[in-house]
Amino acid sequence: MEGVLDVDVCVVGGGVTGLSTAYHLKNLDRHVSVALLESEVVGFGASGRNAGQLIVAFGESDFKAQMKRHGTAKLREAYTYIQEGISTIEALIDEHDIDCDHEQTGYFEMGLRADGNRTLDEYLAFCRKIGQDSFLEPIPEAEVARSFQSPYFGRAVFDRRGGQFNPLKYLRALKLVAQRSGVQVHENSPVVCIEREASCIRLHTGSGTLRCQKLVVATNAYSHLLPGLEDLGMRRSQSPVFVYANVTEPLSESHWRALNWPRRAGVNLMSKLFYSFAPTRDGRLLYVGGYYARVPHGNEMSPDISSDFLREGPRHLASFFPTLSDLRTVQSWGGPISTTRDFIPHVGLFADDRIGYANGCWGHGMPLGARNGRTLAGLMLNRQATDAESWLVTRNKIDWPSRMIVSPVFRGLSAAMRRDIRKIGRKMRPRLVFEK
């Protein structure tokens, strides 16, 4: 962005939340002027680096704790909100003929034999209480064994909603859709200063100034870097955590026959031993897990690669799928996700109600961001929609303490998770390769 630009609404952040917000602003009111600023390029952050699974998940994985803390009605609303995010993405793909390798495959929530059946039973009971069970199909252990040829998998639940897509292809196409609707998209335009005045909000970039009446902060993991919003609590609303992924070379037909995997849907372990495996359109496996994560020091946010996961990941994959022991991992990457203190995404308005924001995305970030975009667009246009009264918007958000405290807390949590992994690994037969 160069020079001086005046618009009604400015959106900062070119990920799924920002692009969805910009698109829905113009969709609700074609006369509103909208500009989007992105410091790098569209999809540079977590939105373009994630595993591309569209799943219905919300908050922490302790379902009893969720129910005790929030109750049936609020959780029903929250899970419906995520499901609507998937529908939003699928509707945009269909309406605008977006080529992003989208497949409505559904996905598996997979149990581990070593854990027994308690976790899956709790999940099914939880889904019945909040009205989500009609989408689910329990899969017995014998059928799972035939379908995946893994020594560790137990029972499973198949969710027919959602599926998989290429998130970066989707975002690049959504950028063009937003531009055709009239959104001005400015990449390589980092916001270096925000000044809030009575008459407008000024955002200064390296080579220009944008003046707006309303502002949407859709920067998620990068939100603490924005200058000028410190008094609104932006720096403590979320904390970035770097997570990592690997992808294999294409599997041969003999690999797929040996695996079986009749439904080419993603597999997510419902266990403290968290792993996720997703077949891609071109026949690879994209996998994450093992709690390879780190909290960045200071304000250093450059995406990086986990040398440990790159080195050890193929052994993990071969442990779960012995027939893939000769399969090479050919690419690895990482990036920051946004975490909130109470595990629940934050969306709403600041005390300065000209400014909307959204933070918090892990495991369900793409549907959540797409749905948050609809919510934020309505809030910016003062539409008296149901979203404005949603408990997700109106609830009191819990902030993190000082970032000096957050870093050691995360290191402690990571160490505890690794200890849990070792405990589970000792119960598994055959013993996990990477737990010897």
Question: Is pLDDT above 50 for 175?
Answer: yes
Domain ranges within the chain, ordered by starting residue: 1-103+161-238+341-400, 145-151+239-339+401-436
pLDDT tier, 103 (very low <50, low <70, confident <90, very high otherwise): very high
Only one residue has tokens 């946004």, namely: 338
Amino acid at site 404: M
| 102, pLDDT greater than 80 | yes
Confidence band (pLDDT; 50, 70, 90) for 8?
very high
Q: Strands (DSSP E) along 98-229, which ranges?
A: 107-112, 136-139, 153-159, 163-164, 184-186, 193-196, 201-204, 208-217
Other C-beta atoms within 10 Å of 260: how many?
A: 13
DSSP 305-370: --HHHHHHHHHHHHHH-GGGTTPPEEEEEEEEEEE-TTSS-EEEE-SSTTEEEEE-BSSSHHHHHH
Euclidean distance between CA atoms 392 and 409, whole angstroms: 26
Look at residue 299 in the predicted model and tell me its pLDDT: 82
The rounded Cα 406 to chain-centroid distance in angstroms is 21
In this predicted structure, what is the pLDDT of residue 433? Answer: 58
* pLDDT above 90: residue 279: yes
What is the arithmetic mean of pLDDT over 345-356? 95
What pLDDT band is residue 386 in, cutting at 50, 70 and 90? confident
What pLDDT was estimated at residue 421? 67
What Rg do the C-alpha atoms of the chain give, in angstroms? 22
Q: Provide φ and ψ at 124, rounded to 5°.
A: -65, -40
Q: Which two tokens stand for residue 122?
A: 């709790």
Percent of the chain at pLDDT > 70 equals 93
- What global pTM score does this model have? 0.94
Helix (H) or strand (E) holding 171: helix 167-180
- State the average pLDDT for the chain: 91
Q: Provide the pairing of β-strand 275-279 with 266-269.
A: antiparallel
CATH classification code of 1-103+161-238+341-400: 3.50.50.60
Provide the residue type at 280 as one letter.
Answer: T
**Per-residue pLDDT, 436:** 42
Percent of the residues in the chain that have a pLDDT greater than 90, as a whole number: 70
Alpha carbon distance 185, 85 (integer Å): 23
Q: What number of H helices and E strands is found in the chain?
A: 14, 19
AA letter at 167: P
Residues 277, 148: Cα–Cα separation, whole Å: 12
| DSSP helix/strand/coil, 15 | coil
Q: Evaluate if residue 163 carries a pLDDT over 60.
A: yes
Mean pLDDT along residues 198-213: 96
Give which of 5, 7, 12, 14 is closest to 29, Cα–Cα.
7
Tens of pLDDT, residues 15-46: 999 999 999 999 999 999 999 999 999 999 99
> How confident is residue 201, by pLDDT bands cut at 50, 70 and 90?
very high
- pLDDT tier at 183 (50, 70, 90 boundaries)? very high
In a 3-state reduction of DSSP, which class is residue 293? strand
Contact call for residues 136 and 127 (beta carbons, < 8 A): yes
- Decide whether 1-103+161-238+341-400 matches 145-151+239-339+401-436 in CATH topology: no
| Helices 72-96 and 365-380, packing angle to 10 deg | 90
Report whether the peptide linkage leading into residue 314 is cis, meaning its omega lies within 30 degrees of zero: no
Query: What is the 3-class SS of 216-284, one letter each residue?
Result: EECCHHHHHHCCCCHHHCHHHHCEEEEEEEEEECCCCHHHHHHHCCCCCCEEEECCCCCEEEEECCCCC
User: Beta 34-37 vs 3-12: how paired, if at all?
Assistant: parallel
Q: Which CATH number fits domain 145-151+239-339+401-436: 1.10.3470, 3.30.9, 3.30.479, 3.30.1330?
A: 3.30.9
**3-state secondary structure at position 153:** strand
**131 phi-psi bin (left φ>0, alpha ψ -120 to 50, beta other):** left
Of 48-62, 117-131, 183-197, which one has max mean pLDDT? Answer: 183-197
Question: Residue 410 pLDDT more than 50?
Answer: yes
Half-sphere exposure of 58 (CA within 13 A, CB side): 28
